[in-house]
Amino acid sequence: MWIGGLAAVLIGIRGLPTVDKARAVGRFSRVAGFAFAAMILTGVIRGIDEVGSWSNLFTTTFGWLLLAKTALFFTIAPLAATNRWRYVRLGVAGIPRLRWVSRGELGLAAGIMVAAAFLTTLPPPSFARAAAAQNLPHVVVEGVDYGTAVRVKLDVAPGYPGLNRFAVTVRDYKTGRPVSGARLFLLFDLPARPEIGESVLELSGLGEGIYSAEGTRLSLAGNWTVTVVVETASTSYDAVLPIKTTPQP
């Protein structure tokens, strides 16, 4: 209502300023004020629920994107306040300056929407906590890449054919430090059934070298070969791990 309505208002007040246009801006300003307050309230509540803790805000990709979105919001808020409390009150005389400030609002709002779009592709940190709290059987395997540069641990729950949660922890082989900020893929292959072919699942970073995703790649019971592909800014690592799935009891 706030940003979309503002774009519509800018289209509607093109041309010479008039009294009717000033009245329309005033009506929109009142509606936008309520929308602005609702957005703040719901955003804070949702942020607390999805981030879970202060540490997650500064150590996860989700948290950094949320901080970027918040920073853009605090940049756009003064522009909105200037329009509402200054130029709207000037009536017809304030329309020319209101147009310029509103264009700045829309430009910053585009950045907020980009950040929001990326947020929808990442699992919230609270998701990892809730998934870990579930009392499900786990299949856990560990291994290293061919060059012994990284050590990976793959945790699959519940480990039956069907929907599973995959969590991978990646650490430097020598120092033990977590490897964060990489792109991570799992390649699934069932040697006993070559006609199934290889499938791929991309995991999202949760911080501290932990990556997670849900998927139905382990579709059948049997001995699977799972290749963990870790792509950093400079190179990539492959670690091949065996996974055995059994029918659900």
**Model pLDDT for residues 114-155, shown as the tens digit of each residue:** 888 888 777 777 765 555 555 557 899 999 999 999 999 999
Query: Which fold does the domain 136-245 belong to in CATH?
Result: Immunoglobulin-like (2.60.40)
Q: How confident is the model at residue 13 (pLDDT cuts 50, 70, 90)?
A: confident
- Mean pLDDT over residues 25-54, rounded? 86
Domain definitions of the chain by residue range = 2-125, 136-245
Q: In Å, what is the CA distance from 159 to each residue of 2, 28, 167, 246?
A: 46, 54, 12, 8
Question: Alpha-carbon distance 184 to 207, whole Å?
Answer: 13
Predicted local confidence at residue 120, as pLDDT: 77
Average pLDDT of every residue of the chain:
87
Predicted local confidence at residue 232, as pLDDT: 93
C-alpha 16 chain-centroid distance: 43
Predicted local confidence at residue 136, as pLDDT: 59
- Mean pLDDT over residues 102-117, rounded? 87
**Model pLDDT for residues 41-66, shown as the tens digit of each residue:** 988 888 888 887 777 778 778 888 88
Token pair, residue 5, equals: 């309505």
Length of the chain: 249
Using DSSP, state whether 20 is helix, strand or coil.
helix
The phi, psi pair for 221, rounded to 5°, reads -75, 140
Contact 205, 182 (CB under 8 A): yes
- Mean pLDDT over residues 12-41, rounded? 87
Contact 190, 161 (CB under 8 A): no
The phi, psi pair for 192, rounded to 5°, reads -70, -15
Beta-bridged to residue 164, according to DSSP, are: 215
Is residue 156 pLDDT above 90, yes or no? Answer: yes
Is residue 239 pLDDT above 60, yes or no? Answer: yes
Predicted local confidence at residue 173, as pLDDT: 95
